[in-house]
Amino acid sequence: MPMSLPARKAPAGGAGVRRWVVTIVVSVVALVLTLVVISLSVGSSLPRTSLQDYLPVGVTVLGKLSSSERADGNANGTAIGEEPLQGVREPLVEQNGQGGYLNSGQPSPLTRKIESKEPDPVASGDTTSTPDEDSSNESQKAEQGEVSQKAEQGTCDLYHGEWVLDSSGPLYTNNSCPIITQMQNCQGNGRPDKEYENWRWKPEQCILPRFDARKFLELMRGKTLAFVGDSVARNQMESLVCLLWQVDVPQNRGNKRMHKWLFKSTSTTIARVWSSWLVHRSTEAVGIAPKGIDKVFLDVPDETFMEFLPRFDVIVLSSGHWFAKRSAYVLNGNVVGGQLWWPRQAGKMQMNNVDAFGVSVETCLTAVATNPNFTGLAIVRTWSPDHYEGGAWNTGGSCTGKVKPLDEVVRNGFTDAMYGKQVEGFRKAVKNAGQQGSQLKLMDITEPFAFRADGHPGPYRSPDPNKKTQRGPDGKPPPQDCLHWCMPGPVDTWNEMLLETIRREFERERG
């Protein structure tokens, strides 16, 4: 028995050693785990990261964006074009004429003004934020998401906003587009300043995308768009052709009755039909109005463009300025008024030129919308403001010296009256057309362009090197064009609005 005691102690001692070893191992593991926890706790005080920061930025709808591009393009850290967290969408992104995106690299000055109003925390060295700032950022994201959603759904108002300077400049020059009418080639005619080319329109609630020529041509693949109206309509048509020319040189397929440009890459046709009043015109004698005076038949649409109407998928209608010229107005076969003409013996006129314009708009648009052979989209561009000072177009009016947008618009009674009658005529036509009135869309450019007194040729309407650009000794200005628009210039914005209008309508039709 006494000899067996050591034998029993040996196993007990071995067990103790094993327990000691296990205790040491457990302690080491516990120490390691404790150090890991401490390390993670310390790491949590570093600038915050997310899972996105550890993953490569993939291909988005805008292409590939690097981490540096993401930081430059958007101060809240979400790559422009990616889908932010919590279903919030970023504002629409501007595009350039070559089909790329300005935000896919260094953002333009305009983009910074629009999308990065708050200081960039990375640039300022502040890499932390408080819970209040977090909630503010989420609120800002939500607000931006609402703005983008409005724009995508076509509910964003394009026509109220401000002009902002964009040093990226126009998408074409007077040297890169050979069809600019000489009177609108302001740089070619010696205009010394160029800042008027660098202002872009920024709506209050969304971003008007920069004109994308490839997108336009694809949207209008196999289709025809026609401008119908006077020389200001020609001004817009030439602007659109110049914008598209930068990606696809068109073929001239026009004739005396209709100017046409075919862009073969997508079989897209841009056309122009001259129609100074949009209603029937004749110089034959009617009632008390003798032969030779233009007779404007206010209740008869212009048969010239109505003949071509079924060929068009989109038509842009504009008129009004010819109602300032000498003419007589005919309604229901009777002469009811005139402009710069009216015989004294005829008594008081029943209708002046402003009211006559309103009737002509209703007549033309009703005829377009109810034409059974026209199933396209009719867009009415509203009154294009002129900026004559000190007189009218034919009495020495001037816009010399205007080099940037006006800070405040000086109201023009005639412009306001003509614009009001145009909108009233549009609304009446929509009502007259009933269900077909949905084909009519209003492109309301009047208010934004009332600020752009700087965008007209003024005295720079010819290449004559001896042209007068200053008032003479008698105080009278040289001959001016304060109605049409320099190219490139503000008129190009009309086609940005046109592209956005067509895009919205086509997407709505597709459901």
Q: Tell me, yes or no, if 231 is annotated catalytic.
A: yes
Q: Are strands 327-331 and 314-317 parallel, antiparallel or unpaired?
A: unpaired
State how far the Cα of 310 lies from the Cα of 306, in Å rounded to an integer.
8
Report the alpha-carbon distance of residue 441 to residue 366 in Å, rounded: 13
The whole-angstrom separation of Cα 60 and Cα 350 is 62
Please tell me which residue in 72, 313, 386, 481 is annotated as part of the active site.
481
The Cα 336–Cα 326 span in angstroms is 14
Q: Is the peptide bond before 119 cis (omega within 30 degrees of 0)?
A: no
Q: Which residues are within 8 A (CB) of 135 and not within 5 positions of it... i.e. 6 or more apart?
A: none
Token couple for 18: 């094993």
Tokens of 191: 């205009």
Residue 461 near residue 189 (C-beta atoms within 8 A): yes
Burial track 147-165 (b if 16+ CB lie within 10 A, e otherwise): bbebbeeeebebbebebee
> Crossing angle for the helix pair 353-370 and 413-433, nearest 10 degrees?
30
Burial class (CB in 10 A: 0-12, 13-18, 19+), 93: buried
Pairing outcome for strands 295-301 and 327-331? parallel
Which residue among the candidates 116, 168, 231, 462 is catalytic per the annotation?
231
Q: Which two tokens stand for residue 42?
A: 């310390």
Active-site residue identified among 302, 360, 484, 492: 484
484 is catalytic: yes
For the annotated catalytic residues, the residue numbers are 231, 481, 484
